Amino acid sequence: MDNESVQPAERLFISRNTSVAHDAAMSTRSPCAPERSAPAPPLVPAVERAVRLVDHLAGLRRPQPLAELSKALGLPKSSLHGLLNTLAALGLATRNERGIRYALGPKPVQWAGAFGQQSGVVAAFDAAAAGLPALREEAIMLAVLDGAEVLYLSCRPGTRALAVNFRVGGRFPASCTSSGKAMLATLPAERVRELFGGVALPRLTRHGVGSVSALLRQLAEFRAQGYAVDDEETAEGMHCFGAPVFAAGRSEAVAAVAVSLIKASTGARRRDEVVAAIRELAARVSQRLGA
């Protein structure tokens, strides 16, 4: 299911390119050997530390003192203090009246709005979501895969009251959500195993899938039927359906759209109608992206 309570703070994230080993013996390779990718450029340490700090501040439930931040991030207090002062001056961090506790600043809200305006997939979702009467009452959302989690980029609130709230910037384990499973179903099995590292999967409710092998069986079924299901795996009583979004020249999903319903009040006929509509929405968004 694709929803989240309003309490967890939004997080920023940084995606890292995986380094590719450089082949030092290029002159000895066969002329027919495929060219290796160039090594990923190194990260700038100061920027990486600053982003890690902002990301940590975004995940806090309450402001934190310097000592706790230093321990959590493994950074010396002296350099961390300098980073916090700089971030506070730029609006990326705030400190309380006594200057001893720090929290996220308001600047990321501005960035989030700018991202929504500039992102082609968000614009495609917003345009396509307005044209499906079957989903007018329901909250529908757009998500992307970020590692083993889904990150919600946009939400079109419905008119129906739900027991949960939806929020742009929210994150959930991809293995629990219909949008996450819809995207995972487009990946090779080995990629899915790499994402979850062979460990037990996070379970948010007693209905959650607990192992990668069980998840892969689900994904095979979802791939065949063209949509994914979250049957009370993110929240008790909620039934959610997601479909993958594709872009031109891409065989793996670039995003997913999903809808969440109150299971007890949704009959079979309405369920089928909503599933057909969310698949149609995914197709329309994909078409706008050139797929």
Give Cβ neighbours of residue 25 (< 8 Å, ≥ 6 apart).
none
Indicate whether 136 and 277 sit together in one domain.
yes
Indicate whether 177 and 204 sit together in one domain.
yes
CA dist., res. 44 & res. 24, Å (int) = 24
* Residue bearing tokens 């501040």: 57
Strand ranges (E), the chain:
64-65, 93-95, 101-104, 140-146, 149-156, 171-173, 228-231, 238-245, 255-262
Residue type, 4: E
CA dist., res. 251 & res. 43, Å (int) = 29
Phi, psi of 9 (to 5 degrees): -75, 155
Indicate whether 87 and 184 sit together in one domain.
no
Look at residues 65, 82, 105 and tell me which one is the last residue of a structural domain: 105
pTM (2 decimals)?
0.68
29 located within any domain: no
Contact status, residue 203 vs residue 176, Cβ threshold 8 Å: yes
3-state secondary structure of 110: helix
CA dist., res. 9 & res. 56, Å (int) = 10
Burial class (CB in 10 A: 0-12, 13-18, 19+), 269: exposed
Position 69 scores a pLDDT of 92
Position 169 scores a pLDDT of 79
Q: How many domains does the chain contain in total?
A: 2
Domain that holds residue 84: 40-105
50 located within any domain: yes
The CA distances from residue 172 to 56, 74, 76, 160, 168, in Å, are: 16, 25, 31, 23, 12
Indicate whether 160 and 136 sit together in one domain.
yes
Among 184, 173, 224, residue whose Cα is nearest residue 1: 173
Q: Look up residue 276 and give its two tokens.
A: 């057909």
Indicate whether 193 and 97 sit together in one domain.
no
Indicate whether 244 and 196 sit together in one domain.
yes
Our measurement of the distance from residue 169's CA atom to the centroid of its chain's CA atoms, rounded to an integer in Å, reads: 8
Indicate whether 125 and 92 sit together in one domain.
no
The CA distances from residue 80 to 84, 87, 112, 240, in Å, are: 6, 10, 25, 42
Residues of the chain with pLDDT under 50: 1-37, 163
CA dist., res. 232 & res. 239, Å (int) = 6
CA dist., res. 40 & res. 160, Å (int) = 47
**Any idea what the CATH number is for the domain that residue 259 is in?**
3.30.450.40
If one counts every other C-beta atom within 10 angstroms of the C-beta of residue 18, the result is: 6
196 located within any domain: yes
Contact status, residue 156 vs residue 139, Cβ threshold 8 Å: yes
Among 152, 138, 173, residue whose Cα is nearest residue 276: 138
